[in-house]
Amino acid sequence: MLKFKKIKGNFIHPTAVINWNSLTIGKNNIIGPYVVIGNKAQWKNKKNKGKIIIGNNNVFNEYANIHLPTTLKKKTYIGNENYIMNSTTIDHDCYLENNITLSSNVILGGNVHIMKYANLGIKTIVHQNQVIGSYSMIGMGSLITKNKKIIPGYVYYGKPIKKVRKNKFSLIKNKINVKDLQFENKRFKKILSNI
């Protein structure tokens, strides 16, 4: 069994590499083997500025990478109760809300905003400056290109991605009614206009 150290109220594997000077973190996060938090933003000639902020009860599995923000947003943010599988990359200035699942080998370009309860399948690639709607499900191997809109409450799949059907499973499981979904769509539009 893997052995974790308890540091600042979190369970951290000894091989994890963490830039503590640029991190604000909550409690009960699990940071697995070879996770890297706080390396330089992958944006040539752009200065790193700001902090990575991580909430509570997140899981980061082996080889996940979370990069520093830039002057663009000055914050790479990960909320609460998110499950980040192995070899996932969260680039500079990304914003993850709560209860999100990123499956193995997901790549988020810079400045991607993922709304709550979204689920991204294995090897999903997301173009920078995108918004992924709440309660959406992205099928494995999908490619979310620059001009695609991933609105809340739907299943998407493909290269490039296409809307397949309503995500009834997630909507029913989370007791989301028509009004709730309308509210999430308003939030989506507002976030999109500010991205």
CATH among 3.30.2010.30, 3.30.70.100, 3.40.50.2300, 2.160.10.10 for 5-193: 2.160.10.10
Token pair of 193 as six digits: 């206009």
Q: For residue 177, how many other CB atoms are within 10 A of its CB?
A: 9
Going by C-alpha positions, the residue among 12, 13, 14, 15 that lies closest to residue 25 is 12
pLDDT confidence bin for 1, thresholds 50/70/90: low
pTM attached to this predicted model = 0.95
What whole-number distance in Å separates Cα of residue 163 and Cα of residue 181?
A: 16
- What residue ranges do the domains of the chain occupy? 5-193
121-147 pLDDT, tens digit per residue, is 999 999 999 999 999 999 999 999 999
- Answer for the pair 82, 101: CB distance below 8 angstroms, yes or no: yes
52-76 pLDDT, tens digit per residue, is 999 999 999 999 999 999 999 999 9
pLDDT confidence bin for 2, thresholds 50/70/90: confident
Residue 51: per-residue pLDDT: 97
